[in-house]
Chains A and B, each alone.
Chain A
Amino acid sequence: MSFFAQIITWINVPMNGLGKFLLAPIGVLPGWLSNTIISAVVGLVLLIIFKYTSNQRAIGMVRDNIKANMLALKLFKDSISVTLGAQGRVFRGAGLLLLHAIRPMLVMIVPVSLLLAQLGLWYQSRPLLPGERTIVTMKLNSNVDSPWPRVSIKSIPGAQVMIGPVRAFNEREICWKIKADNAGRHHIVFQVDQQQIEKELAIGDGFMRVSAERPGWQWSDIMLHPLEKPFGPDSVVQSISINYPDRLSKTSGTDWWLVYFFVASLVFALIFKPFLRVRI
Chain B
Amino acid sequence: MPHNNNRRINRREFLRQSTIAATAFTAGLSAKLSYAAKRRKAGAGKKVIIIGIDGMDPRLSERMMNAGMLPSFDKLRKLGGYRVLGTSIPPQSPVAWANFINGAGPGSHGIFDFIHRHPEKQCVPFFAVAETVGGAGYWEIGEHKLQLDFWPFNHKPPATLLRRQGVPFWDYLDEAGIDSTFYDLPSNYPSSPSEHGHHRCLSGLGTPDMLGTYGTYQHFAEDGPIRTKEEGGGKRSMIFFEDETAGAKLIGPRNNFLKDREAATIDFSIYRDKQADAAVIQIQKHKILLKQGQWSQWLKLDFEMSMPAFMPNKHISGICRFYLQEVSPNFRLYASPINSDPSDSALKITEPPEFIKEISNRLGLFYTTGFQEDHKALTNKVFTDDEYRIQAGMVLQERLNLLKYALENYEEGLLFFYFSSTDLQSHMFWWDSEEEHPTRSADVAKKYFDRIKKLYRRLDSVLGDILERYGDEATIIAMSDHGFANFKRQFNLNTWLRDNGYLHPPDSTSILQYVDWSKTRAYGLGINGLYLNLKGRERDGIVEPGQQREELIRELMSRLEAVRDINGRRVIRKVHRTDKAYCGPATALAPDLVVGYRRDYRASWATCLGDMTKEVLLDNDSAWSADHCADVLEVPGVVFSNRRIGAGAPALVDMAPSILTEFGLKTPPSMTGKNIFKT
Contacts and interface: CB of A to CB of B under 8 A. Distances in A.
Q: Which interface residue of A135, A168, A176 has the most chain B CB atoms within 10 A?
A: A168
A184 interface: no
Interface stretch (A79-87, A158-166, A190-198): A158-166
30 contacts: A163-B276, A163-B278, A163-B294, A164-B278, A164-B289, A166-B271, A166-B273, A166-B279, A167-B271, A167-B273, A167-B275, A168-B245, A168-B271, A168-B273, A168-B280, A169-B243, A169-B244, A169-B245, A169-B271, A169-B273, A170-B244, A170-B271, A171-B245, A173-B280, A175-B280, A175-B287, A175-B289, A176-B289, A177-B289, A243-B287
**How many residues of B sit at the interface, in one of the four size bands?**
10 to 19
B288 interface: yes
7 smallest CB-CB distances across A and B, nearest first, come from A168-B271, A170-B245, A177-B289, A166-B278, A166-B276, A166-B273, A167-B273
Contacts of A170: 243-245, 271
B291 interface: yes
Contacts of B291: 163
Contact of B276 (A135, A137, A164, A171): A164
Interface string B284-296: 0001111100100
Contact of B287 (A137, A163, A164, A167): A137
Contacts of A176: 289
A173 B271 CA distance: 10
Interface in B243-267: 243-245
A226 to B, nearest CB: 23
A38 B279 CA distance: 43
Given A163-B291, A166-B273, 20 more contacts: A135-B287, A135-B288, A135-B289, A164-B278, A165-B276, A166-B280, A167-B276, A168-B245, A168-B271, A168-B280, A169-B243, A169-B244, A169-B245, A169-B271, A170-B244, A170-B245, A175-B280, A175-B287, A175-B289, A243-B287
A168 B275 CA distance: 12
A150 B288 CA distance: 23
Contacts of B289: 135, 163-164, 166, 175-177
B17 to A, nearest CB: 42
A165 B280 CA distance: 11
A164 B276 CA distance: 7
Interface in A145-187: 163-171, 173, 175-177
B288 A171 contact: no
A253 B231 CA distance: 44
A167 B273 CA distance: 6
A175 B275 CA distance: 13
A177 B275 CA distance: 16
B291 to A, nearest CB: 5
Contacts of B278: 163-164, 166
Contacts of A168: 245, 271, 273, 280
Chain A, interface SS category: strand
A243 B285 CA distance: 10
A219 B245 CA distance: 30
B323 to A, nearest CB: 15
Contacts of B294: 163
Interface residues of A, number: 16
A17 B112 CA distance: 73
Nearest to A178: B289
A275 to B, nearest CB: 41
Contacts of A171: 245, 271
Interface string A118-146: 00000000000000000101000000000
Nearest to B244: A169
A170 B280 CA distance: 12
Nearest to B291: A163
Interface string B275-313: 110111000000111110010000000000000000000
Contacts of B288: 135
A51 B279 CA distance: 57
Nearest to B287: A135
Contacts of A163: 276, 278, 289-291, 294
A180 to B, nearest CB: 15
A120 B27 CA distance: 57
B289 to A, nearest CB: 4
Interface in A47-93: none
Interface string A226-266: 00000000000000000100000000000000000000000
Contacts of A135: 287-289
A75 to B, nearest CB: 39
A172 to B, nearest CB: 10
B626 to A, nearest CB: 38
A240 to B, nearest CB: 14
A165 B276 CA distance: 7
Nearest to B327: A166
Contacts of B271: 166-171, 173
B195 to A, nearest CB: 34
Contacts of B243: 169-170
Contacts of A167: 244, 271, 273, 275-276
Nearest to B242: A170
A156 to B, nearest CB: 15
A169 B287 CA distance: 15
Contacts of A173: 271, 280
A239 to B, nearest CB: 14
Nearest to B270: A168
Nearest to A174: B273
Contacts of A177: 289
Contacts of B290: 163
B367 to A, nearest CB: 21
Contacts of B287: 135, 137, 175, 243
A135 B288 CA distance: 7
Contacts of A166: 271, 273, 276, 278-280, 289
Interface string B63-96: 0000000000000000000000000000000000
B328 to A, nearest CB: 13
Q: Which interface residue of B244, B275, B280, B289 has the most chain A CB atoms within 10 A?
A: B289
B272 to A, nearest CB: 9
A110 to B, nearest CB: 30
A169 B280 CA distance: 11
A168 B278 CA distance: 10
B442 to A, nearest CB: 38
A176 B276 CA distance: 11
A164 B278 CA distance: 8
Contacts of A175: 280, 287, 289
Interface string A207-230: 000000000000000000000000
B100 to A, nearest CB: 39
Interface string A75-115: 00000000000000000000000000000000000000000
Nearest to A168: B271
A176 B271 CA distance: 13
A170 B273 CA distance: 11
A155 to B, nearest CB: 20
A167 B276 CA distance: 8
A168 B291 CA distance: 14
A80 to B, nearest CB: 32
A243 B294 CA distance: 19
Q: Which interface residue of B243, B276, B280, B290 has the most chain A CB atoms within 10 A?
A: B280
A243 to B, nearest CB: 6
Contacts of B244: 167, 169-170
A167 B289 CA distance: 10
A168 B279 CA distance: 8
Interface in B392-444: none
A171 B247 CA distance: 13
A176 B287 CA distance: 11
Q: Which interface residue of A164, A175, A176 has the most chain B CB atoms within 10 A?
A: A175
A137 B288 CA distance: 11
Nearest to A136: B289
Contacts of A165: 276
Contacts of B280: 166, 168, 173, 175
Q: Which interface residue of A164, A165, A167, A243 has the most chain B CB atoms within 10 A?
A: A167
